[in-house]
A and B are shown apart, each in its own frame.
Chain A
Amino acid sequence: MSQVTMTVNGKTASGDVEGRTLLSQFLRENLKLTGTHVGCDTSQCGACVVHVDGKAVKSCTMLAAEADGATVDTIEGQAEADGSLNTIQQAFQDHHGLQCGFCTPGMVMSTAALLKDNPKPTEAEIRDYLEGNICRCTGYHNIVKSIMAASGQDVGSIAAE
């Protein structure tokens, strides 16, 4: 066991971890931040995406020890200070970009990373960017639409609500 300390959603958090403790485990088990989900064991589904030092990473494929000293942002820290949904979250709700909600934290975190680098992505850029985020419920239609809306694009012309 060794101690790690990181800034999670703006607050300092520390805990004892084993060498093998994954960042996803540390968040879920030590910090009880269960919004970060685990949907696979081959690093493909993206349910676990969080930001480490501002970059999207799969928290299931990073050791907690590797994040020692880092700034970590998770789904729990995304809403506005007053608790209301942020622009991305609100767009997902407005456009029915989620169903069971299991992939959703990863989708929101990936979207946040995308829009930081590319504030007005095209449909093709969004679909390409989501390669590592699998959703089984939505057929992606409303996720892509939500992301376009979150980036301020007009989605009225996209077939069906």
Chain B
Amino acid sequence: MYNFDYEKPSTVADAVAALGDEDAQALGGGQTLIPTLKQRLASPTTLVSLSGISEMQGITDEGGSITIGGATVHADVASNGAIAALSDLAGNIGDPAVRNRGTIGGSLANNDPSACYPSAALGLGATIVTNTREIAADDYFQGMFSTALDEGEIITAVKVPKPEAANYQKFEQPASRFALVGVFVAKTSGGVRVAVTGASEEGVFRWSEAEAALNGNFSADALEGMAPDADGMIADLHGTSAYRAHLVGVMTRRAVAACS
């Protein structure tokens, strides 16, 4: 690691100020950033820890939705249960020690194409709340590792509407155990949403054909034989694009079946 200064502000405002320096970077749980720093793939001059900001911690239930503080760790989301599918997803990210440190804000800011949370945020139609604005999930994810966040912008919270039914199915990449393909299916007041992670070269995406089919008939049968186009799917050591496309179909059917 290159060296850096470390700061631990206790308010969002102080954190924003500290992040004003263009070579400063936010530190969430560090479960992605620290391994990246070890490889010397990033060289921030200052790391601004978000772990001391109490207003970014915890989960509040507002009845129709929940609000999760941006620095809330996966373990806390996992044990919350207000949205079971989301808790199950969080409870299956990495391992227990990773879940005790990694945060929802960090995961969404990083937008790893194989990460789990992006599919939940997109699938549930969440709103990403930052220190300056609120961004609808549909506008937030902009391709692999790319988001609508500006330099120095902090995810302070995530507002998640409660679905009528939802389920996440993850098929793990055998080595990293990230999602080789993960599909989040949610039946919401605004219709069915199917968000897919791990599969596409464009990062997390909504599989609109499946959504259309499910809006007509919310059952796994409605998706019989369906899979997205293999073009544009990731191909790597762990699976060809055809395999990933196929898995998207399988995991979507399983998620739908698990919803009912």
A41 in contact with B38 given A2-B6, A18-B3 (CB within 8 Å):
yes
B34 and A43 within 8 A (CB): yes
List chain A residues, Cβ under 8 A from B3. 18-20
Q: In the complex, which of the residues A2, A68, A129, A132 contacts B98, with contact meaning CB atoms closer than 8 Å?
A: A132
Interface-located stretch among B89-97, B132-140, B180-188? B89-97
List chain A residues, Cβ under 8 A from B254. none
In the assembled complex, the Cα of A84 lies from the Cα of B244 at a distance in Å of 52
Q: In the complex, which of the residues A44, A62, A131 contacts B34, with contact meaning CB atoms closer than 8 Å?
A: A62
A19 and B35 within 8 A (CB): no
In the assembled complex, the Cα of A61 lies from the Cα of B49 at a distance in Å of 14
List chain A residues, Cβ under 8 A from B37. 20
B208 at the interface (CB under 8 A from A): no
A56 at the interface (CB under 8 A from B): yes
Interface of chain B residues 18 through 40 with chain A (CB within 8 A): 27, 30-31, 34-35, 37-39
Q: In the complex, which of the residues A19, A22, A129 contacts B96, with contact meaning CB atoms closer than 8 Å?
A: A129
* Contact flags A62-82 to B (C-beta < 8 A → 1, else 0): 110110100000000000000
B47 at the interface (CB under 8 A from A): yes
List chain B residues, Cβ under 8 A from A41. 35, 38-39
B246 at the interface (CB under 8 A from A): no
Which B residue sits closest to A61, measured CB to CB? B34
A63 and B6 within 8 A (CB): yes
Which B residue sits closest to A48, measured CB to CB? B97
From B3, B27, B30, B37, residue with most partner A Cβ within 10 Å: B30
A62 in contact with B35 given A19-B5, A129-B96 (CB within 8 Å):
no
A131 and B47 within 8 A (CB): no
User: How many residues of A are in contact with the other chain, CB < 8 A?
Assistant: 30
User: How many residues of B are in contact with the other chain, CB < 8 A?
Assistant: 29
| Chain A proximity of B27: nearest CB distance (Å) | 8
In the assembled complex, the Cα of A70 lies from the Cα of B43 at a distance in Å of 27
* Contact flags B92-119 to A (C-beta < 8 A → 1, else 0): 0011111011000000000000000000
* Contact flags B35-56 to A (C-beta < 8 A → 1, else 0): 1011100000011010100000
List chain B residues, Cβ under 8 A from A131. 94-96, 177
B1 at the interface (CB under 8 A from A): yes
List chain A residues, Cβ under 8 A from B51. 66
B8 at the interface (CB under 8 A from A): yes
Interface of chain A residues 29 through 74 with chain B (CB within 8 A): 41-44, 46, 49, 55-58, 60-63, 65-66, 68
A56 and B96 within 8 A (CB): yes
| Chain A proximity of B185: nearest CB distance (Å) | 23
A57 in contact with B100 given A19-B5, A41-B39, A132-B95 (CB within 8 Å):
yes
List chain B residues, Cβ under 8 A from A43. 31, 34-35, 98
* Contact flags A118-149 to B (C-beta < 8 A → 1, else 0): 00000000000111110000000000000000
List chain B residues, Cβ under 8 A from A46. 95, 97
List chain B residues, Cβ under 8 A from A133. 95
A13 at the interface (CB under 8 A from B): no
List chain A residues, Cβ under 8 A from B96. 56, 110, 113-114, 129, 131-132
| Chain B proximity of A23: nearest CB distance (Å) | 10
Q: Which residues of A contact B (CB under 8 A)?
A: 2, 18-20, 22, 41-44, 46, 49, 55-58, 60-63, 65-66, 68, 110, 113-114, 129-133
For this complex, 29 residue pairs linking A to B, each with C-beta atoms less than 8 Å apart, are: A2-B6, A18-B3, A19-B4, A20-B2, A20-B3, A42-B35, A43-B34, A46-B97, A55-B100, A56-B96, A56-B97, A56-B100, A57-B100, A58-B97, A61-B34, A61-B98, A62-B101, A63-B47, A63-B49, A65-B8, A65-B49, A66-B30, A68-B8, A130-B95, A131-B94, A131-B96, A132-B94, A132-B97, A133-B95
